[in-house]
Amino acid sequence: MSRSRIAGCTIPLFSIRSERDWGVGEIADLPLCAAWLERAGMGLVQLLPPYELAAGETSPYGARTSFGLDPIYLAVRDVEDLDPAAIDAALGPAGERELARLRAAASVDYGAVRALKSRVLHVAFERFHEEHWTKGTTRSRMFRAFLEREASWCDDLALYVALRDDHGGYGWETWPHGERTRERHALATARERLQRSILEHQYLQWLAHVQWDRARGELRGLGMELMGDVPFIVGGESADVWSNASQFRQDVSLGAPPDAFSPEGQDWGLPAYDWAAMDEDGLSWHRARTRHAARLYDRFRLDHVVGYFRQWVRPRTETGRGPGGFDPRGEDAQKARGARVLEVILAEADPAKVIAEDLGVIPPFVRATMKELGLPGYRVLPWEQDESGFRDPATFPRASVASWSTHDTAPITSWWEELPAKDRAGLSKLANFGEEVSDDGRLAALTDMLLASGADLTLMLAQELLGDRRRINTPGTVGGANWTYRLPSPIESLMTDADVTARFERVRRIARDTDRTR
């Protein structure tokens, strides 16, 4: 299925919109989305992390697990333990009105969607428990097989969620000592006390992975690849850190070193990897996470790849944070660390392909190591400059990923106006258009230049295909506009929209002319 040159579209799962969704993108609508994007010559769909978020969290990089899929993405209509009558009864008139509101909303309302879906999915679990689990049916045996296969992560995740709910939503560092430190007797008691709640969460994970596998199969049938995103680190308040506490350093806070934009550096408030502890068991946590990502995706992006070489950490003290520094120290140690971890990830990922997010301030030895390992990096065109001006995308190496933007920038549809006049002039010259060009004409020329690049993979935001100016996230800000972007209309409507159809046909012609379509 994989081709050497391919055009892809970045669209968060939460942004996908269909006539049947419940106010957020759903796993079952991935094939519909892929079929729609294929009309624009796309051969790949890139998602942001779909892992389970805690209540109140919206950032896909703030998940409470590196393995479990978020049940918010379940397509309720496809759950076998429900029928239309059961759904209607669970919703009631007020729920039906709420569902209509969420479907019409321009952005994702996570709290309301989660509450509505949780209510109905609880009914599904109760029916499954009564009609299958207690009777040992074929369906219950399928569930048991999933539990056995995924026990290494699913057991701890389900117990973590059940305990957190049992403690009023408070994090594991506030739990009783035995549960906090995972004493055997305390956990056995908790499993007995919360067995129904644990089983329900395991059931939701089973449903999500069944729907994911079905969607992956349909994408393969369309000849479309699925690309994912693996965050660099996981939050301290997560099932991973709670169940693998010895593998993470919580005496320090992870961040980024000082630069021109942040003179004192950045403090992300996240734990750091304890490399010494991870080395003792052969990087088993990274191996397991990588294998799971390779199960979900045809290829995936490693976020913040420089962090695998060196982590910028600041000691946590009673009065705040101490001075920051790199872990490990020294270029030789950093190069060895990164090479070791990336070699393990590449080996465990096979046959899935791996891409490294190497944006920002990157030491030369990082990209040298990536080149030795054949690991592609990113080329975001507005940032591809040297002392002589913009680099010609046609000269980008094949083993790279070219794009006009990322989920953390504005789409080029609006970013263009934010660029300095000098940059706009330089890019206009490269793309061969003048000041009098229309917005659509400019976007077509910029798309042409991107797809004609030497990079094997090009990525466009869905907004850039549609001429949409909205962005997915604005780093350094907190608000309702971040991580809530939805397509302007359901895909079924977009498929019949004359303007969208014309845009897609134009991009498809460019993809064909640049050898990126089948």
Calpha distance 152→390 (Å, rounded): 48
Tens-digit pLDDT profile for residues 484-505:
999 999 999 999 999 999 999 9
388 CB contacts (<8 Å, ≥6 apart)? none
pLDDT at 305 over 90: yes
C-alpha span between 231 and 228 (Å, rounded): 10
pLDDT above 50 (res 288): yes
Res 479: pLDDT: 87
The average pLDDT across 272-295 equals 97
Q: Kindly indicate the confidence band of residue 276, based on its pLDDT and cuts at 50, 70 and 90.
A: very high
The Cα 482–Cα 463 span in angstroms is 15
Token reading at 69: 């899929």
> What pTM does this model have?
0.96
Flag whether pLDDT at 258 surpasses 90.
no
Question: What pLDDT, on a 0 to 100 scale, did the predictor assign at position 478?
Answer: 85
Task: Assess whether pLDDT exceeds 50 at residue 23.
Answer: yes
pLDDT at 360: 87
Tally of domains in the chain: 1
pLDDT-based confidence at residue 261 (cuts at 50, 70, 90): low
Q: Is the dihedral of CA 25, 31, 35, 40 positive or negative?
A: positive
SS3 state of residue 314: strand
Rg from Cα positions in the chain: 23
Range of 130's domain? 1-226
pLDDT at 300 (0 to 100): 98
pLDDT band for position 322 (cuts 50, 70, 90): confident
Query: What pLDDT sits at residue 321?
Result: 78
The verdict on residue 414 lying in a domain is no
Residue 259 forms part of a structural domain? no
Residue 153's contacts (CB-CB under 8 Å, 6 or more residues apart) are: 65, 66, 67, 68, 239, 288, 292
For residues 1 and 38, is the Cβ–Cβ distance under 8 A?
A: no
CB proximity list for 450: less than 8 A, separation 6 or greater: 381, 393, 402, 403, 404, 458, 460
- Provide the 10 A C-beta neighbour count for residue 96: 12
Query: What is the arithmetic mean of pLDDT over 447-475?
Result: 97
Above 70 in pLDDT, residue 340? yes
Give me the pLDDT at residue 435, please.
Answer: 84
The pLDDT of residue 1: 42
User: What mean pLDDT, rounded, does the chain reach?
Assistant: 95
What distance, in Å, lies between the first and last C-alpha atoms of the chain?
10
Q: What pLDDT score was predicted for residue 196?
A: 98
* Helices 195-222 and 110-131: angle between axes, nearest 10 degrees: 100
* Distance from C-alpha of 66 to C-alpha of 428, rounded to nearest angstrom: 42
Distance CA 475, CA 483 (A): 11
Report the phi/psi class of residue 320: left, alpha or beta, with left for phi > 0 and alpha for psi in -120 to 50. Answer: left
Q: Could you tell me the pLDDT band of residue 3, with boundaries at 50, 70 and 90?
A: low
Say if 206 falls within a structural domain. Answer: yes
The three-class DSSP label of residue 272 is strand
CATH code for the domain of 197: 3.20.20.80
pLDDT at residue 285 above 90? yes
Q: How large is the average pLDDT for residues 439-444?
A: 94
What are the residues whose beta carbons fall under 8 Å from the beta carbon of 96, sequence distance 6 or more?
Answer: 88
- pLDDT band at residue 518 under the 50/70/90 scheme: low
CA 263 to chain centre: 29
